[in-house]
A and B are shown apart, each in its own frame.
Chain A
Amino acid sequence: MMTKSAQRLTLFLLLAPAILWLGLLIVLPHVEILVLSFSERVAPRVYAFGFGNYLEFFTEPLYWRTFARTAGMSILVTALTLVLAFPIALYIARVAQGRLKAMLLLLCLLPFWVSELVRTLGWMMILRETGVLSYVLQATGLTAERVEFLYNDGAVILGLVYGGLLFMIVPLANALESLEPAVVEAGFDLGGSRWTVLRRIVIPHAMPGIVAGSIIVFMLTVGNFATPVLLGGKNGLWFTEQIYAQFITRFNWPQGAAFGMLLLLLSSAIVWLGLRLTGQSLGTTLKQA
């Protein structure tokens, strides 16, 4: 028999790694970034407290426009991912059985066995002017000249949707799996068309999964770095690139820290707004993810 205090100790010991992980690797660095973001350079090696770094974001159109663009494109990527993932998830959850189901999920997972960088480089090989796609188009006589598909916003969206797909499919399939077939049948029996059944029964049931997947994909997309840098063109600056530039090429850590905090706050605000608009709570959503 264990005493109560021993139980508590066991619980604490079991939780310790998680607490240490959260505290040392997530909370502590964020606190440091937060403190750093309020310091302003006065002279070499002299810094003072101030809100200048945050003001800079709102007063310099360059920076907030980059953020607005990043957020806008991330929302678009999330929506596209959702539209693409929904039928796949529906098929995996409702139609596929046994080994086929496992195999389909494995197929979705497979690309993630290689790193994001390699996957992105793969896309570069396909899309570049002397790449696979351009070659196929020429070989089949569809175009006479080489075509450049790389270095534009379309390529970035493609790469990001590709990277986000799995994170949308899994929560969606999870949510759809618990849908009672009888409910769907009842919908048809009551004279509902396929569209009505989808709109009034399937989608509302899948809502927590949709929201969970959307949050994950949106956050992954808005904070992505490699894909926009490699696939993006001369006009497409992602907000994370601004943060990198401030830290690494400008040596302006306080400014980079402020941008980092702003990215966290503003993207969280967008997620909160999304939850409010869809009438979901974070609690039910997290259960689904």
Chain B
Amino acid sequence: MLTKRASLKLATALAALMVVGTAQAAEKLRLLTWADYVPKDVMEQFTKETGIEVEVTLSNNEEMISKLRATQGAGFDLVQPSQDRIAGPQAEFGIYKPLDLSKIKSDLFIASMLEATKKNTTVEGKVYGVPHIWGTDGLIVNTKAAPKVADYNDLCDAALAGKTSFRAKRPALIAFAFANGMDPFASYKDPKAYAAMMDKVGAKLAECKKTVKFFWDGKDQLLNALRSGEVVAAMAWDTGGWKLNSENADIKFIAPKSGALGWVDTFAIPAKGRNDDAAYKWINFNMKPEIAAKVAASAGNFTASNGADKLMQGKLKDQFAESFPKAAIDNIKWYPAVPAGIEEIEGKVLDRLKAGS
């Protein structure tokens, strides 16, 4: 049996523990984001300046949406889905809360990019996302082994059989639609026409599958295969291409003839986020040019922060200039918001692509 005094002590200790526990919880920002978006020094500096600890979980677009959907928007305080993947899931599942734009320092952003993202992430008059990091999808090519590759269709060249790769996900459908003279974005609003178009693209990809070594899934898997020469041309993100280019000058990121696909990753707040203040602090902190430049260097991509480009190191700028001549920049196809229902059409085409032999 506990003595009265001992149990009193125990109770006090427990109470103290609970207070400490809640105090700690209040000082935490649970961030769901992409690999390399939170360099260690940036995280430490934030904790030093604000006293808020950042708990990072790495993910991708689909998993972010699925995770939030499972909890109806709980479990995280700030997430970073791509700008085109906010409006649809928000309309469907209600997993985000509208942003209080007065708490975001808008002059830290590149104005045109902020406006475009706000427009794309607006549901029923409310804004759900602001831009953070942007980049493109294009071709990573080993120019020595596959000198002729200049567009997505070249990944299907029989001469490269067993040496090309792309992801069996929606960017591949969009890219091959453009490469074969179609405009998928123009048909977003017309599900029937879109389904017909996707069937055509699916047939093209099924044909192309013969030359594909594997449908890549993780970035590292693809980069390793490109490094070892097992794959010589692939559809992938620019950042991976530039990373390999730094190691081996023969490997280049090429903006395809039919246009690189432009994506913007955003900041959005989950519907049941518990620490909005910390989330806004993190956004404003991250968009400061000197911080944004660090994050951009870590991710190997570009930032929507106004003025950060002047602080960035030369290498990435040179690589960007080589991959993107002026005409290629103008030809970047930026993803418009994906309406609800579109992904279901794409999903079936992708299922068939993966299952069929």
A interface vs B, CB < 8 Å?
44-45, 62, 65-66, 128-130, 148, 151, 229, 233-235, 237, 241-242, 245, 247-253
- Least CB distance from A33 to B in Å reads 13
B248 to chain A, nearest CB (A): 15
State in angstroms the CA–CA spacing of A237 and B209 once bound together: 14
Contact partner of A62 among B65, B162, B340, B351, CB < 8 A? B351
Verify B354–A251 contact, CB threshold 8 A.
no
Q: Which 8 A-B pairs have the closest CB atoms?
A: A235-B357, A237-B355, A250-B347, A130-B228, A249-B62, A248-B66, A44-B92, A129-B230
Minimum Cβ distance to chain B for residue A60 (Å):
8
Contact A45 B94 (CB under 8 A): yes
Interface check B356, CB cutoff 8 A: yes
Q: Is A151 touching B213 in the complex (CB atoms < 8 A)? A: yes
Contacting pair B214 A251 (CB below 8 A): no
Q: Which residues of A contact B229 (CB under 8 A)?
A: 130
Residues of chain B from 50 to 108 with CB closer than 8 A to chain A in the complex: 62-63, 65-66, 69, 89, 91-94
Task: Say yes or no: A151 contacts B340, CB within 8 Å.
Answer: no
* B214 adjacent to A151 (CB under 8 Å): yes
| Binary per-residue interface labels of chain B (202-214) against chain A in the complex, 1 for a CB within 8 Å, 0 otherwise | 0000000100111
Which of A129, A233, A250, A251 lies in contact with B93, CB distance below 8 A?
A251
Q: Which one of A65, A129, A248, A251 lies within 8 Å of B355 (CB-CB)?
A: A65
A251 touches B228 (CB 8 A): no
- Knowing that A245-B351, A248-B62 touch, tell me 8 more A-B residue pairs with CB under 8 angstroms: A45-B93, A45-B94, A129-B228, A129-B230, A130-B228, A130-B230, A251-B62, A251-B92
Q: Which listed residue, B66, B94, B348, B356, touches A251 by the CB 8 Å rule?
A: B66
Q: Are A250 and B344 in contact (CB under 8 A)?
A: yes
CA distance A252 to B79 in the complex (A): 21
Q: When A and B form their complex, what is the total count of cross-chain residue pairs whose Cβ atoms lie within 8 Å?
A: 66
Most B Cβ at <10 Å: residue of A62, A151, A234: A234
In the complex, B257 has a CB within 8 A of chain A: no
* In the assembled complex, B169 has its CB within 8 A of some CB on chain A: yes
Q: How far is the CB of A6 from chain B (nearest CB, A)?
A: 23
Interface residues of B in 300-317 (CB under 8 A from A): none
Q: How far is the CB of B190 from chain A (nearest CB, A)?
A: 18
Selected A-B contacts with CB under 8 Å, 17 pairs:
A44-B340, A45-B94, A62-B351, A62-B352, A62-B355, A130-B229, A148-B230, A235-B357, A237-B355, A241-B354, A247-B66, A248-B62, A248-B66, A249-B62, A250-B347, A251-B69, A252-B344
Least Cβ–Cβ distance between A230 and chain B, in angstroms: 9
User: What residues of chain B lie closer than 8 Å to A241, measured between beta carbons?
Assistant: 354
Residues on B with C-beta less than 8 A from A129 are 228, 230
Nearest residue in A to B212 (C-beta to C-beta)? A234
B353 CB to nearest chain A CB (Å): 9
* Distance in angstroms between the alpha carbons of A148 and B162 in the assembled complex: 10
Which residue on chain A has the smallest CB distance to residue B229? Answer: A130
Q: How far is the CA of A234 from the CA of B162 in the complex (A)?
A: 11
B 173-203 to A, binary, CB cutoff 8 A, 1 in contact else 0: 0000000000000000000000000000000
- Chain B residues contacting A229 (CB-CB under 8 Å) are 217
Determine whether the beta carbon of A44 is less than 8 Å from that of B91.
Answer: yes
CA distance A245 to B168 in the complex (A): 11
Chain B residue nearest in CB terms to A130: B228
- Which residues does chain B contribute within 8 Å of A248, judged by CB atoms? 62-63, 66
In whole Å, how far is A183's beta carbon from the nearest beta carbon of chain B?
Answer: 49
Chain A nearest CB, measured from B341 CB (Å) = 9
B217 CB contacts on chain A under 8 angstroms = 229
Asked if B89 contacts A251 (CB within 8 A), the reply is yes
- Interface flag for B250 (CB, 8 Å): no
Confirm or deny: B34 has a beta carbon within 8 angstroms of a beta carbon on chain A: no
Contacts of B351 in A (CB 8 A): 62, 237, 242, 245
One of A128, A242, A250 near B343 (C-beta < 8 A): A250
Which of B217, B347, B355 has the most chain A CB atoms closer than 10 A to its own CB?
B355
B65 touches A251 (CB 8 A): yes
- Closest CB in chain B relative to A28 CB, distance in Å: 16
The 0/1 profile, CB within 8 Å of A marked 1, for residues 322-355 of chain B is 0000000000000000001001100110111011
B134 within 8 A of A: no
